[in-house]
């Protein structure tokens, strides 16, 4: 049976810290720290909305997180400034290994989907701008079920949309919460450990596979886990 790969988008294929360049125009040398805080709050707000069952899409979480981060760093942003930064989030760059890694995985014959907390339209725009949209059979968004990763219903929704089963479906993500969520829902999962300092949550749930780059992920899954 052909293996299905679900690629997380933000932080795995697309570098969310690519917004630093735009931030430098507003916060100067605080840009890297501002970017990290913005990303952390964005995820926190999605977690909280999922638990509260008070859904707003990922763009709203991103906007609210920007408001929080601006207040935290005592930076006054005009509506124009804020919109400029939110627009920058729509055209973030892909990681350097994304295109070649996807190309190699595609040549290995995997069924490949983008699977994201972002809305389908936002992800389509992002992937197209990054030049990697054509590697995927489709985009599966949590927006379709009005909740966020790591809700188990989100991973079940992916399996339904991709016409796959847990035994032959993999999540590929750099986010430990996402990897643990997929494993808990019966999928296999590869953790993309993009930094040697990155830590995986000590929950007693380990990734099926850990890699440091997307370049070899297709070959590793093909060699070690191909279902025949």
Q: What local confidence, expressed as pLDDT, does residue 223 receive?
A: 81
In a shared domain, residues 126 and 106: yes
In a shared domain, residues 75 and 111: no
Could you report the per-residue pLDDT of 153-176, keeping only the tens digit for each?
999 999 999 999 988 999 999 999
| Residue 26: partners with Cβ closer than 8 Å, 6 or more residues away | 75, 77, 81, 85
Give the domain range for residue 159: 4-14+93-225
In a shared domain, residues 99 and 77: no
The SS3 call for residue 189 is: strand
Out of 89, 107, 138, a domain closes at: 89
The Cα–Cα gap between 11 and 191 comes to 12
In a shared domain, residues 41 and 122: no
Q: What local confidence, expressed as pLDDT, does residue 228 receive?
A: 47
The Cα–Cα gap between 142 and 208 comes to 23
Q: What local confidence, expressed as pLDDT, does residue 1 receive?
A: 64
CATH number of the domain at 41, please. Answer: 1.10.150.240
Q: What's the token pair of residue 124?
A: 């389509």
Average pLDDT of the residues of the chain: 95
Could you report the per-residue pLDDT of 1-24, keeping only the tens digit for each?
689 999 999 999 999 999 999 999
Which one-letter DSSP state was computed for residue 6? E
113 class by beta-carbon count within 10 Å (0-12 exposed, 13-18 middle, 19+ buried):
buried
Mean pLDDT of 208-215: 96
Could you report the per-residue pLDDT of 49-65, keeping only the tens digit for each?
999 999 999 999 999 99
Q: What local confidence, expressed as pLDDT, does residue 30 receive?
A: 96
Q: Which residues are catalytic?
A: 8
pLDDT category at 224 given cuts 50, 70, 90 is confident
Predicted model pTM:
0.94
Which one-letter DSSP state was computed for residue 166? G
Whether the predicted pLDDT of 227 surpasses 60: no
């Amino acid at each position: 049976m052909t293996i299905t790969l679900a690629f997380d988008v933000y932080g795995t294929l697309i570098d969310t810290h690519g917004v630093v360049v735009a931030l430098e125009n507003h916060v100067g040398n605080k840009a890297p720290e501002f970017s990290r805080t913005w990303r952390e709050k964005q995820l926190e707000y999605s977690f909280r909305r999922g638990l509260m069952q008070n859904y707003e899409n990922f763009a709203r979480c991103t906007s609210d997180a920007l408001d929080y981060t601006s207040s935290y760093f005592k930076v006054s942003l005009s509506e124009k400034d804020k919109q400029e930064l939110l627009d920058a989030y729509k055209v973030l760059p892909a990681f350097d290994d994304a295109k070649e890694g996807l190309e190699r995985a595609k040549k290995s014959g995997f069924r490949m989907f983008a699977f994201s907390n972002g809305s389908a339209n936002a992800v389509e725009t992002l992937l197209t701008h990054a030049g990697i949209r054509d590697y995927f059979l489709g985009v599966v968004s949590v927006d379709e079920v009005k909740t966020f990763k790591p809700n188990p219903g989100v991973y079940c929704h992916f399996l339904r949309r991709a016409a796959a089963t847990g035994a032959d479906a993999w999540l590929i993500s750099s986010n430990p919460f996402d990897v643990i969520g997929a494993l808990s829902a019966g999928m296999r999962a590869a953790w993309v450990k993009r930094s040697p300092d990155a830590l995986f949550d000590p929950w007693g749930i380990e990734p099926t596979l850990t890699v440091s780059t997307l370049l070899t992920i297709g070959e590793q899954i093909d060699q070690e886990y191909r279902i025949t």
